[in-house]
Amino acid sequence: MVQTDEMKKAHLSIAGIVQGVGYRYSLHRQAQALGLSGWCRNTDDGRVEAEACGTNRQLEALIAWCYQGPPNAVVSQVEVTYAPIHSLPDVPSFEIIR
């Protein structure tokens, strides 16, 4: 993955009915299909949390998907914060943690 000025990191917090409905696994597949690196996990308060690194276009596509999620999810809120990144892995990898 080549780093350019438009590369950045997005931290996402997704609320609603997002645990127990395959949200993390679907998010993982979507992020991999978009070529993003990062991770996602369930939180103790019932949200799904994710961090993704990539181009503006890649991140915006993932964020748009997060508002819908998989078929059984009911998303009530997606909070996004951005941060600059200084380096990316040579091979994008998106993991499910915890």
pLDDT for 55 beyond 80? yes
pTM of the model: 0.88
| pLDDT at residue number 7 | 85
Domain boundaries, the chain: 8-96
pLDDT for 91 beyond 60? no
Query: How many C-beta atoms surround the C-beta of residue 31 within 10 A?
Result: 29
Note the pLDDT tens digit of each residue in 56-80. Answer: 999 999 999 999 999 999 999 999 9
Q: Does domain 8-96 have CATH number 3.40.50.300?
A: no
Catalytic positions are 24, 42
**Sequence-ordered list of residues with C-beta below 8 angstroms from that of 90, at least 6 positions apart, any chain:** 1
Note the pLDDT tens digit of each residue in 9-26. Answer: 999 999 999 999 999 999
